[in-house]
Structure 1
């Protein structure tokens, strides 16, 4: 149960990070063709960081789960 909650939280964080990256352009507070305003730069750095950390955490979790399945499979043959 805790693993499902943790994975769900990581997926939500990943989606929130992607939204932060897309928000300046989707909402429209970044003028088209203009230099990036401070809020856009902040959203890009923060959203990208949150998305990257959560994605790496999901990959590590998946790798650990696969490693555990492989370990159980080796012990099942013996």
Structure 2
């Protein structure tokens, strides 16, 4: 149960990071062709960082789950 809650939290964080990256353009407070506003730069850095860290954590979790499955399969053969 704890693992499912952790994975769900990481997925939500990943999606929130993606939204922060896309928000200045989707909402429209960053005009086309204009120099990036400070808020846009902040959204890009913070959102990109959150998305990258949560994606890395999801990859580590998936690798650990695969390693555990392989370990269980190896012991089932003997």
Give TM class, smaller chain.
Answer: over 0.9
- Structure 2 length normalisation: TM-score? 1.00
Matched, 1:43 2:23: no
Superposition pairs of residues 1-78 of structure 1, within 5 angstroms: 1-78=1-78
Displacement of 1:43 in angstroms is: 0.1
**Alignment: residue pair count:** 78
| Inter-partner Cα distance in structure 2 for 1:68 and 1:16 | 29
Displacement of 1:48 in angstroms is: 0.1
- Structure 1 length normalisation: TM-score? 1.00
Q: Secondary structure of 1:54's partner?
A: helix
CA RMSD in angstroms comes to 0.2
